[in-house]
Amino acid sequence: MHKVLLVDDDLGLSALLKKYLEGEGFQVDAVQDGEAGVSRALDGDYAIVVLDVMLPLLDGLEALRRIRQTSQIPVLMLTGRGDDLDRVVGLELGADDYVPKPCTPRELVARLRSILRRVSTAGQVDTVRATLSAGPLTLWPERRRAEWQGQPLELTSTEFNLLEVLARHAGHIVGKEILSEQGLGRPLARYDRSIDVHLSSIRQKLGALPSGRSWIQSVRGMGYQLVRE
């Protein structure tokens, strides 16, 4: 049974989501402000956090920033429908995905299961492929561990998934449809910028090639590729 931390000050919606999630086999704790959300996320044994953007005491984006300072626990953001800036900022701060409000409990459950499935199955690889290397990048998928140029590389679960897909195809272009399906666990949606934002964050963590180019190249109309050097 997966433990979920639900952080939302809308008591009616929170009660509805909690009841539905518990009916789907999740164990749910709910808090109503950002400060409590950060404290519980860092101290509790949760599999995932559902975090609303609009919260008292500490807004969801600041709460996410504080969580990411010390933890890579998966975080699903709840954002206002049409609030593209909040979604982009949330992804840049390390959110794994987002669901626009108002959302249906069924959609939330589907997104939660998708994230948790990616995290739990990412390590199910045979021993021959237990270590994945591409240039200065080394990944241990079964341990969710990454090194870049011999140094630990801190990645969110979604960033790890996307980088693993690119590493398995290093030197080759990977379409956004494949990245979405294998990295985000869902079909690519029209106008969805999630992949672009996650890869932008990874680029910053990897730094630049001696030539000044990025290690992750964007190929217009085709996708992305991890440079193999």
Tell me the domains of the chain and their CATH numbers: 3-121 (3.40.50.2300), 127-226 (1.10.10.10)
The per-residue pLDDT for 87 is 85
The confidence score (pLDDT) of residue 120 equals 72
- 45-89 per-position pLDDT tens digit: 899 999 999 999 999 999 999 999 999 899 999 988 667 788 888
* Residue 151 host element (H or E): strand 151-152
| pLDDT the model gives residue 24 | 94
Please report, for residues 59, 112, 161, 166, the alpha-carbon distance to residue 79 in angstroms, rounded to integers and kept in the order given: 12, 15, 23, 28
- 3-class state of residue 31 by DSSP: strand
Task: Please state, for a pLDDT cut of 90, what percent of the chain lies above it.
Answer: 59
pLDDT of residue 122: 53
The DSSP symbol for 162 reads H
Looking at residue 183, what DSSP letter applies? I
Banded model confidence at residue 127, pLDDT cuts 50, 70, 90: very low
What pLDDT does residue 81 have? Answer: 63
Give the pLDDT mean for 7-31.
94
Q: How confident is the model over 35-45, as a mean pLDDT? A: 93
**Does 1 have pLDDT greater than 80?**
no
Nearest-CA neighbor of 60 among 44, 79, 46, 73?
A: 79
Give the predicted TM-score (pTM) of the model: 0.71
| Residue 143: DSSP 8-state | G
Q: Which residues contact 169 (CB under 8 A, 6 or more apart)?
A: 225, 226
Which of 191, 51, 186 minimizes the C-alpha distance to 107?
Answer: 186
Q: Is 44 in contact with 2 (CB distance < 8 Å)?
A: no
**pLDDT beyond 60 at 125:** no
Give the residue from 216, 130, 129, 207 showing the smallest Cα distance to 170: 216
Token pair, residue 13, equals 């919606």
Query: Are 60 and 33 spatial neighbours (Cβ–Cβ below 8 Å)?
Result: no
Q: Mean pLDDT for the chain? A: 89
The 8-class DSSP code of residue 58 comes to S
pLDDT at 30: 96
Is residue 128 very low, low, confident or very high in pLDDT (cuts 50, 70, 90)? very low
What integer pLDDT is reported at residue 18 of this predicted model? 94
Q: With 50 as the cut, is the pLDDT of residue 111 above it?
A: yes
Residue, of 127 and 12, whose pLDDT is higher: 12
